[in-house]
Each structure stands twice: as structure tokens, then as C-alpha cells.
Amino acid sequence: MILCIDVGNSHIFAGVFVEDKLIFRFRHDTRQASTSDQLGVFLRMVLRENTIDPLKIKHISISSVVPSLDHSLASACIKYFNIKPFFLQTGVKTGLKIRANQVGADLIAGSIAAIKQFPDRNIIVIDFGTATTYSVVNSDKEFLGAVIQNGINTSMKGLQQNTANLPAVHIVKPKQCVGRSSEPCIQSGLYYGQLGAMREINKNIIEEAFQGSPALVIGTGGFVNLFEQADVFDVIIPDLVLHGTYLALQMNNT
């Protein structure tokens, strides 16, 4: 069994793989985990509670965009699993020709999984997390760069924190564009603002990076299903980053 961990700014998203198959996944609030003991106890506990023996974990692979947690997480893996984890970071094998600097591990992980499933294609990976990110990979497996915008939940929190009368709302697809009270007005702005940005950014990426040639658009991340019917994606793969984290371990463990 292989434990793969995607450490994001809001959540730790993890999963267990057995023979290339993701059999179990779980989340944890990033901000509630800081010490190696907290992380180690949580990981062992959640596995046991779901009838997975922690002793059967043979490798751990991590992609992280939260450097402050990396040391604690590595120490937790060593102390509670007796495993030195693999980190997806600069210098490891990825199968990509990376043409950009300071690229987040989550973007690389998603791109690794994308080119594995869809070789010889121009690809845009849209990942909905704390930020909404667009990874751009051409048919020659070159990671050309990315676009980063506010995530939909981050935008909602920004409105709440910086206005006197606008509340936090449930993030849903609105029934209509024009709202008649604060909550549906905000929901509409969040949904259509993100959707409009996606369409415009995709159009510009295709023109600039691929010279107008078609691109496969993959959706992933926490809010991807919100836009499932919006005719933006060619395919939705919610666990893309975990699959890429798993593949990176395989490439570097041979």
C-alpha cells in the first residue's frame, strides 16, 4: 500500500493506493495540524478507522505547497510509519520538461497525471483549491507555465471580511443570475465570475500557448463539480493530484 498526500493551503487531501488503484481518500484541515505528533496520530487513526492497517503502508509520497508543514509531516512519517517520505520537488523525475520557475508541486502532480492519461495532447488542467490554477502542458510534455486566480471560496471570504453587510454564503450554482437578496447575489457573482474567468483564460491560453490548436481541458479539485454542467471541461478527474503524486513516486523509486 502507498499513502499519497497532497498538502494544500486549506486542506490535506490524502489517499491510499493498492496496485495503481486509489482505494481510499480523506481530508484534514491544514490549519488544525502543525506538529509531527498531531499529524502522525491523525494519519494512523484515520487509516485504522477505515480498516486499513498502517503497518501495510510501504511508501509515502507527498506533494506540498505549505513549506511550514513539510518538516513536521516528514517527521510524522518517520516516527509513526517508519518511512522516509518522498517529496515531489525540484530535481526529481517528473516526465515533464518544465519551462517555468517556482512551480507548485500540486501543479506538477496534476500535469504528471494528465500526460499519463492523455499523451500527445495539448492540456489545460484547472484545479479548484484555495486558488484556482491553470497548468499549461503541450503535446511535447512541456510544462509551459500556469495562471493563478482567487479560488471561489477565497473570493467569498474576501467579500465577507472586507465588507460590513455581506455574509458568508453556501457556494452553489445559482438558480438565476440576478439575485434579489444578498445571499443569491453573492452566489451569482462567485459562480459566474469564476465561470467567466475560466472561459476567458482558456481562450487566451489556447491562442498564446498552443497557437490556436485544440487543447484538452481537465477539471479537478474541491469545487470542480460545481461547474460540471457548464461546458468548460472535456473531462473531470477529482483526484488528479493524488494520481500524479503516486506516479511521481513510481518514477523516482525504480
**6 has catalytic annotation:** no
Q: Are strands 216-221 and 142-150 parallel, antiparallel or unpaired?
A: unpaired
User: What was the pLDDT predicted at 253?
Assistant: 86
The reported pLDDT for the residue numbered 2 is 98
**pLDDT tens digit sequence for 193-233:** 999 999 999 999 999 999 999 999 999 998 999 999 999 99
> Which one of the listed residues 106, 120, 231, 234 is annotated catalytic?
106
Cα 197 to Cα 152, 188, 193, 203, 234: the distances in Å are 11, 14, 6, 10, 17
Burial of 38 (0-12, 13-18, 19+ CB in 10 A): middle
Q: What pLDDT is attached to residue 164?
A: 85
Give kind and range of the element (H or E) at residue 146. Answer: strand 142-150
Average pLDDT, rounded, for the chain? 94
Beta carbons within 8 Å of 142's beta carbon, 6+ residues apart? 96, 97, 98, 99
In percent, the amount of the chain with pLDDT more than 70 equals: 99
Task: Read off the C-alpha cell for 211.
Answer: 497557437
pLDDT-based confidence at residue 126 (cuts at 50, 70, 90):
very high
In tens, the pLDDT along 6-37 reads 999 888 999 999 999 999 999 988 776 679 99
pLDDT of 32:
67
Pairwise CA distance, residues 87 & 248, whole Å: 9
Residue percentage of the chain with pLDDT more than 90: 89
- Residue 157, C-beta contacts closer than 8 angstroms, at least 6 positions apart: 168
Q: What is the pLDDT of residue 254?
A: 66
* Angle (CA) 24 29 31, round 5°: 150
Which of 118, 134, 144 lies closest to 219, judged by CA?
134
> Are 143 and 96 a contacting pair, CB within 8 Å?
yes
